Amino acid sequence: MTAVGKGIARLDARAKVTGKAQYAAEVPVANLVHAVLVTSTQAAAKVAVDVKDAEHAPGVLAVLTHHNAPKLPGAKTKTGPVDRVLQLLQEDEAPYNDCPIAVVVADTLERARAAAERVAVRYSSGGVQTELRERLAEAYAPKTAGPREPADSSRGDVPAGLEAAFVQIDATYTTTNQHHNPMEMHGLTAVWQGEQSLTVYDTSQGIFGVRKKLATVFGLAESNVRVISRYVGGGFGCKGSPWSHLALCALAARVTGRPVRLVLTRPQMFSLVGYRPRTIQRVVLGADARGKLTAVRHDVTSETSRLDEFSEPSALQTRMLYACPNVATSHRLVRLDVPTPTFTRAPGEATGTFALEVALDELATALKLDPLELRLRNYAERDPHEDKPWSSKELRRCYQQAAERFGWAARRLDPGSQRDGKLLVGWGMATATYPAKQSAASASARIDREGRVLVQAGTQDIGTGTYTIMAQIAADALGVPVDRVRFELGDTSLPETPVSGGSQTASSTGSAVQAAALALKKKLLALGAPLRAPELDLRALDAWLAQRTEPEHRAEARTEEKAERKRYSSHSFGAHFVEVKIDADLRQIRVTRCVSAFAAGKILNPKTAHSQYIGGMVWGIGLALLEHTARDPRNGRVVTRDLADYHVPVHADIPELEVIQVHERDPYVNEIGAKGIGEVGITGMAAAIANAVHHATGKRVRDLPITLDKLL
């Protein structure tokens, strides 16, 4: 009996398409009122807020500003290394544009919005700095690259390696601001039970982080804060951290003594919940005449706010992806009058593989070598950075299978050599990679007298299929059919699990769920449950359960990274092969074909995995060709503040995306043998497209997004 590995449809799909699934901002709550945020129109400014008009508007219950908001002793306390300083009306300051400066609460949403428009604000601002290129002289070394890794790395002797090189590439690449823009905007419903106990219905990738933050801000015991997030309409990183609006909604609920709902507007989504920071990346490559890398340098500068340090770790993959004895990388930050950036699908690798994999394409061009052949000549048989064997790595098969399926062998080497009528045709490829992570997690499993199994873990399903794969894992571990298993998640009253970020939910929570189910089975067997070795005897089990006196049997488990794993390096890998067609006159660029292969350990559910992969690839098309948040340098205000001006791909931009799931067995990575798949799909994709654009036109575009004006 194996459910794992079957492509069963998402168990929550029916609830979602029928509207039965209730999201954070539609949970029915009695006595509910509505809050609307007023945000600043200046940055780096002092504010004076006049609320007289707003307070007298119909239906208004409260207007909170820095003048009257209760002081929150925990407002500035950081709860962890990636926690943010929130803007909770404690000061007369707007550090960035669209910063919260007032909260209006009214009996209806419409009245709250109407009153919010009547809040008058005066600013005094002493000049704004939001241009990364203009402030490079102020770049400094952050404490870490990403949450954990050292900012700099060095192995071997890069200058000597460059000295010895037959060919050198030295180029600078830039990536722009990108916003997550999940379909479901951030929103929550906050309900106090007295002064000391708070329940929040949120849309979150990390409910335990939200609980901790709210407890800290309001000085509550964590056990008195409950966060519930049953369904999440997309996150991609922006729902991974607690942001200001959360605590402001809870504050509004406390002040008014009513349950309060707050939903961000789409324009507010561009300032209040993070974004992918701009990067400027210099890559220097040296290679011998056969294409063997003799030196690699990758230096990254990105932006952060004046409030927090967030460093986009774009050079991490450069440390481990190719076999090269001489590699040096660095990360630098520039502080600007902008909101704090955050994790955005494959933070680091999405932008970093763009620079590295385009530089490799430039090297292949200089060497007149097939770009795939160049990768194979530098294939890393073990992790050269950590100097450890891979726990598994089927990247070579990814290259081979995707290249064959794509027909890569027919590619002509010279740019501009393939045409289809008025269209220039280009083929490009790139490598994909993302680390396999695992954090400590807990889960529980129980079976009642009717043989129904309930498995619980606090975790979140951010649209990835968590409900489904956890039920599959539990069913197999216990030895029961999957339709006997119900999996509950999204509630801090359930066993604690990590944030659904870093592609780690399957490995972390999945391991805990498997362990809990195994513990339950062991318990049942110890009690004498019928056995058909080595599994439970299902036919006899029901009768056995029915005659037991206990109403149910229950087991819990907590798992963390296997000790054995520390001897290995674990990453998901993949390869993209992309065709673009570019109108020879009008320069419109369309991706017309894409074949990608991925190896990510055991695939728990090929159907949900496929969705994850193609979702990442669609993001890669957006990153490469469309997505760009423009900020007005005069006041730091986002100009492209809706989905008409900020372009995500539409259906017509996406061709059929073919995904090959390469079989990979990994006995070391974790108990269930699965690596992450949610983010690897975007990595390398922008580079493969940029490389195809070069192949089509001979023009090397090093600045994303590649819009048609850059090809005129």
Partner 1 sequence: MRDFDYVVPKSLDEAVARGKQAEHRFIAGGTLLVDLLRLDVERPAALVDLNAVLSERISWAPNGLTAGALARNSDLADHPDVRRELPALSQALESGASPQIRNLASLGGNLMQRTRCAYFRDPGVAECNKRRPGSGCAALEGYSRMHAVLGGSRACIAVHPSDMSVALLALDAIVRTRRSQGGREIAIADFHALPGETPQVETALEPGEIVTEVFVPASGFSRRSAYVKVRDRAAFAFALASAAVALELSGEKIATARVALGGVATKPWRALEVEAALLGRPPTRETFEAAAKLAANGARTTPHNQFKVELARRVVVRALERAAA
Among this protein's residues, is 679 annotated catalytic? yes
394 touching partner 1, by CB under 8 A: no
Contact yes or no for 571/433 (Cβ under 8 A): yes
Stretch that binds partner 1, among 359-367, 593-601, 643-651, 684-692 (CB under 8 A): 643-651
Which of the residues 13 through 72 are near partner 1 (CB under 8 A)?
A: 39, 41
Of the listed 362, 627, 664, 679, which one is catalytic? 679
Stretch that binds partner 1, among 20-28, 389-397, 644-652, 678-686 (CB under 8 A): 644-652
DSSP conformation letters of 553-584 = EEEEEEE---GGGGGSB-EEEEEEEEEEEEET
183 touching partner 1, by CB under 8 A: no
Q: Which of 53, 91, 117, 564 binds partner 1 (CB under 8 A)?
A: 117
Q: Which of 396, 484, 647, 700 binds partner 1 (CB under 8 A)?
A: 647
- How many CA atoms within 13 Å lie on the side-chain side of 64? 26
Which of the residues 603 through 632 are near partner 1 (CB under 8 A)?
A: 625-626, 630, 632
Neighbours of 566 (CB within 10 A): 11
Nearer to partner 1, 529 or 589 (CB): 589
Contact yes or no for 520/447 (Cβ under 8 A): yes
Residues 66-105: x where in contact with partner 1 by CB under 8 A, - otherwise, as a string: --------------------------------x-------
Query: How far is residue 6's CA from residue 677's CA, in Å, rounded to a whole number?
Result: 16
Which of the residues 550 through 609 are near partner 1 (CB under 8 A)?
A: 585-588, 590
DSSP symbol at 625: I
640 touching partner 1, by CB under 8 A: yes
Among 286, 271, 209, CA closest to 240: 209
Q: Beta strand pairing status for 198-202 and 535-536? A: unpaired
- How many CA atoms within 13 Å lie on the side-chain side of 167? 19
> Residue 429, SS3?
strand
Nearer to partner 1, 267 or 606 (CB): 267
Stretch that binds partner 1, among 113-121, 523-531, 552-560, 592-600 (CB under 8 A): 113-121
Q: How would you label 72-101 residue by residue, b for 16+ Cβ within 10 Å and e otherwise? A: bebbeeebeebbbbbbbbeeeebbbbbbbb
397 touching partner 1, by CB under 8 A: no
Q: Which of 267, 389, 415, 530 binds partner 1 (CB under 8 A)?
A: 267
381 touching partner 1, by CB under 8 A: no
Sign of CA dihedral 359, 363, 369, 373: negative
420 touching partner 1, by CB under 8 A: no
Nearer to partner 1, 75 or 115 (CB): 115
Nearer to partner 1, 141 or 654 (CB): 654
Q: Which of 641, 675, 694, 695 binds partner 1 (CB under 8 A)?
A: 641
Query: How far is residue 429's CA from residue 595's CA, in Å, rounded to a whole number?
Result: 10
Query: How far is residue 436's CA from residue 341's CA, in Å, rounded to a whole number?
Result: 23
652 touching partner 1, by CB under 8 A: yes
271 touching partner 1, by CB under 8 A: no
120 touching partner 1, by CB under 8 A: no
Q: Which of 44, 114, 283, 680 binds partner 1 (CB under 8 A)?
A: 114
Query: How far is residue 127's CA from residue 44's CA, in Å, rounded to a whole number?
Result: 7
Among 280, 319, 323, CA closest to 300: 280
- The encoded tokens of residue 78 equal 């950081």
Site size with partner 1, rule: CB under 8 A: 35
Nearer to partner 1, 43 or 246 (CB): 43
637 touching partner 1, by CB under 8 A: yes
Q: Taking the chain, what is the end-to-end CA distance rounded to the nearest angstrom?
A: 59
Q: Which residues bind partner 1 (CB under 8 A)?
A: 39, 41, 98, 110, 113-114, 117, 267, 585-588, 590, 625-626, 630, 632, 634, 637, 639-642, 644-645, 647, 649-653, 707-709, 712
Active site residues: 679
